[in-house]
Amino acid sequence: MTELTAVITGGNKGIGADLAARLLERDYKVISVSRHAPELSHPNLSSVEADLLDPGAVTDAAAEIAGKHDVTHLIHNAGLIWPNLIEQAQPSDITGLAQLHLGSALILLQAFLPAMKARGMGRVMFNASRAALGAPTRTAYSASKAGMIGMARTWALELAPHGITVNVVAPGPILTDNFWGVIKKDSPEQEALANRIPVGRLGRVEDVTNAFLFFCDPANSFVTGQTLYVCGGASVGTLQI
């Protein structure tokens, strides 16, 4: 098999860490880009520490990685929520999350595109959110996650002739630190939310990584520009989080 190299933003914990472990099992080289190194240790796992809210830091990290690796997979998983009601929301919330969720992805992809195009194969993925459809207290988060979907569709059209697919996974409520930063772990609110989801439970990390693994597969070359909601049916109706 041709060597596959995946860059995962936020690959140090949660969904990103689980995806890194599962790609390593499949003989990928994996590079995590985040503010902290992963706890996982593996000969094919490396990390570059960078604050994705800082365009300069992302540019430096992208150049460092591209100088050492021919990246085949970019999974932009890192994210923050910053919940606020409209009255408390700030324009800086929007610009900050736009840089994290959109700008950093652009910088990274621009650095990795030459190698992908030369190979005639690439996989680009975003971790968006069901909140792209709207959710209370998510002014900046919903806006930037919806922006991921629009940007991915544009990139899919531009890059399809080069054998590069671009897709989005949009999770609903998943049991991660980000979720517990909004809803207290094992609280009555968590249980009530689980009961409102059509399948009757909250999502697990592996529910999301399963979806990413489908899009990662080099054999899946006829699916691009798509958004897969991994949400237990929550995207079908209105869900108050």
Q: How many CA atoms lie within 13 A of 186 on its CB side?
A: 0
Q: What does the block give as tokens for 210?
A: 């399963």
- Residues known to be catalytic: 141
**Alpha-carbon dihedral 187, 238, 97, 36, rounded to 10 degrees:** 40
